[in-house]
Amino acid sequence: MNEEKLRELAVSLDTPSYVFDTDILTERARWIADTIRPAKLCFAMKANPFLVKTLDAYVERYEVCSPGEFHICVQNGLDMKKIVLSGVNKEYEDVRYAMEQGVVHYTAESGSQFYLVSCCAEELERHVEILLRVTSGNQFGMSEEDARQLIRERDKYPYVNIRGLQYFTGTQKKVIKKIAAEVEYIEGLIRRLKEEEGFVTRELEFGPGLGVPYFTKDDFSEDRRLLESFMELFREKRPYEVTFEMGRYLTASCGYYMTKIMDQKRNDAVNVCIVDGGINHVNYYGQNMAMKTPILSYFPQHPLEQEKEEEWTVYGSLCTVADILLKKLPLCDARIGDYLVFHNIGAYSVTEGIYLFLSRRMPKIYLYGEKEGVRLVRGALETWPWNTEDLRS
């Protein structure tokens, strides 16, 4: 989206609001899918659930990590065979419901989660496939020994086929040597399981957690090189299918957050502007209390009367000193009514913010494509009814 179109949308749409550019998204999804082929692309929908339908033609799997996310998939009419039901704390009712809807693929974060899936499969007489998630030292996944024990006992569970392993260690990784060590570890485990347990892996789902450039001092040319360098680790064909799970790396670049300057003042030696958004809407990974400057656009709504830039601290509308979006932002003749548009906001911010704090209204959400134009997909939502006693109860 060029600056002219961005200015037009900022002025014409109510603020605060998110706009997700589907042209940018589909172009990136197509490039990623082509680059990783023959590996499959799995969308971790927690990054941005508003994009599942747009991505449907480009991804072969959806990683679904909660009952709510699964209901979003059902509402959008997604193919249940493309869903892998993942995440910790799966409950009986949720697994059974997903299985009744036709979900075949699951991950197991623990032995008890494996037994739960097996129980539901046996009750419904459904044959399902499962990936054992191996922990990287945190609360996710299971130990090697637990995985081995399930593999040794696999014949006891006739409705469950252990298809392979799943492995993910974290996000925003930009050092290929670190990622290469993770690949070496999980593939070493695959070899040992074959040699020591007679288990043949048919699929590895791997989350590389590739880093995304957000801030003005980041190297944006590194973005594409990172995936290409990562794929050098997979030049040799594997005897099993490989699925790469991506969220942030896939969606971050398609998003914009639009907010308006609502007030200005000078507090001591600091120029202060208050916008109608805040940290409840904008969350850059690694923001460090606004000490880094993200890529953004500034759209004044008046003839500029001075060319000299001044530094501004941009605060949101929350009643907390923590609500700082930017420090020392250079703006020329900034005034009330001008617009700021934050770039690369396509991942997580739309769902990750502290939306209920202070009972502020939630932003509108739009999808934009050059052919389709602007489409409102969620209106502004009042949160105060969720923060008060329900007098009807």
Here the CATH number for the domain that contains residue 94 is 3.20.20.10
**pLDDT (average), residues 33-58:** 96
Nearest to 11 by CA among 348, 377, 301: 301
In a domain, 272, yes or no: yes
DSSP 8-state class, residue 154: G
Distance CA(61)–CA(130), nearest Å, equals 14
Q: How confident is the model at residue 308 (pLDDT cuts 50, 70, 90)?
A: confident
**pLDDT (average), residues 351-362:** 90
Indicate whether 242 and 258 sit together in one domain: no
User: How far is Cα of residue 168 from the mean position of the Cα atoms in its chain?
Assistant: 14
Q: How confident is the model at residue 304 (pLDDT cuts 50, 70, 90)?
A: confident
| Coil, strand or helix at 234 | helix
DSSP 8-state class, residue 363: P
Stretch among 92-106, 213-227, 242-256 having the lowest mean pLDDT: 213-227
In a domain, 35, yes or no: no
**End-of-domain residue from the set 246, 276, 291:** 246
In a domain, 234, yes or no: yes
In a domain, 14, yes or no: no
Distance CA(256)–CA(20), nearest Å, equals 6
**End-of-domain residue from the set 246, 261, 286:** 246
Q: What is the mean pLDDT of the chain?
A: 94
Indicate whether 128 and 237 sit together in one domain: yes
**Cα-flanking dihedrals φ and ψ of residue 167, to 5°?**
-150, 130
| Cβ neighbour number for residue 279 with a 10 Å cutoff | 21
**pLDDT (average), residues 312-328:** 93
Indicate whether 229 and 296 sit together in one domain: no
Which residues constitute the domain of residue 290?
253-387
Indicate whether 224 and 293 sit together in one domain: no
Judging by DSSP bridges, how do beta strands 255-267 and 17-21 pair with one another?
A: antiparallel
Nearest to 343 by CA among 300, 299, 295, 298: 295
In a domain, 16, yes or no: no
Confidence check: pLDDT of 206 > 70: yes
Confidence check: pLDDT of 391 > 80: no
More confident residue, 305 or 27: 27
Q: What is the pLDDT of residue 286?
A: 75
Q: What's the full length of the chain, in residues?
A: 393
Confidence check: pLDDT of 393 > 80: no
Indicate whether 223 and 287 sit together in one domain: no
Indicate whether 240 and 290 sit together in one domain: no
In a domain, 40, yes or no: no
Angle at 329 between CA 328 and CA 334, to 5 degrees: 120
Do 238 and 204 meet the contact criterion of CB atoms below 8 Å apart?
yes
Confidence check: pLDDT of 22 > 80: yes
Distance CA(96)–CA(120), nearest Å, equals 6
**End-of-domain residue from the set 213, 246, 279:** 246
Nearest to 132 by CA among 120, 152, 368, 119: 152
| Coil, strand or helix at 11 | helix
Indicate whether 300 and 229 sit together in one domain: no
Distance CA(130)–CA(64), nearest Å, equals 14
pTM exceeds 0.85: yes
**Cα-flanking dihedrals φ and ψ of residue 365, to 5°?**
-130, 130
**pLDDT (average), residues 218-225:** 91
Q: What is the pLDDT of residue 274?
A: 97
Q: What is the pLDDT of residue 305?
A: 80
In a domain, 21, yes or no: no
